[in-house]
């Protein structure tokens, strides 16, 4: 068995399929998947849930923050660009209001404002060297 045969055997065994002509059902599933992914072009930012305490990290001794989470819009890695590019956003500074309780026994709230950054306009930008901006780690 030569090296090419071994590599092909490993690929076939690893993926549980064959390197033969796909069935019409496999082709149909592939086309559906490919079409779905193709709709995700860079251009529209996506809402991301962010823990409020991250935005208020300079505040110490805070017992409770409301709302506990907030939503910020981000472009990073949410759309398809040409090879060698990644989806990035143009930042827009916003101010968010929170209600905080400093002490459990006090039961008094204070209202504060905190700066945050939304990205509402997205564009394709050249990937900088040695970055893995859009590599997501999934443990399946």
Q: Where are the domains of the chain?
A: 51-128
Contact at 8 Å (CB) between 102 and 110? yes
**Could you list the pLDDT tens digit for every one of the 140 residues in the chain?**
444 443 344 444 445 555 667 788 999 999 999 888 888 888 888 899 999 988 888 877 788 889 999 999 998 877 888 888 888 899 999 999 999 888 777 778 899 999 999 998 899 988 876 555 565 554 44
Residue 100 DSSP code: E
- Closest Cα to residue 75, out of 44, 39, 40? 44
Output the pLDDT for position 134: 60
Q: Identify the three-state secondary structure at position 134.
A: coil
51-128: which CATH topology?
2.10.90
């Amino acid at each position: 068995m030569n090296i090419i045969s071994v590599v092909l055997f490993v690929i076939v065994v690893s993926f549980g399929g064959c390197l033969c002509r796909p069935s019409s059902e496999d082709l149909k599933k592939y086309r559906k998947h490919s079409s779905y992914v193709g709709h995700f072009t860079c251009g529209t930012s996506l809402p991301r849930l962010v823990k409020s305490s991250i935005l208020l990290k300079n505040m110490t001794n805070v017992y409770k923050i409301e709302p506990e989470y907030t939503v910020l819009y981000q472009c990073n890695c949410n759309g398809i660009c040409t090879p060698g590019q990644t989806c990035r956003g143009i930042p827009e500074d916003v101010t968010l209001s929170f209600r905080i309780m400093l002490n459990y026994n006090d039961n008094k709230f204070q209202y504060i404002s905190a700066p945050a950054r939304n990205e509402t306009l997205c564009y394709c930008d050249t990937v900088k060297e040695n970055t893995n901006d859009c590599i997501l780690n999934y443990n399946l």
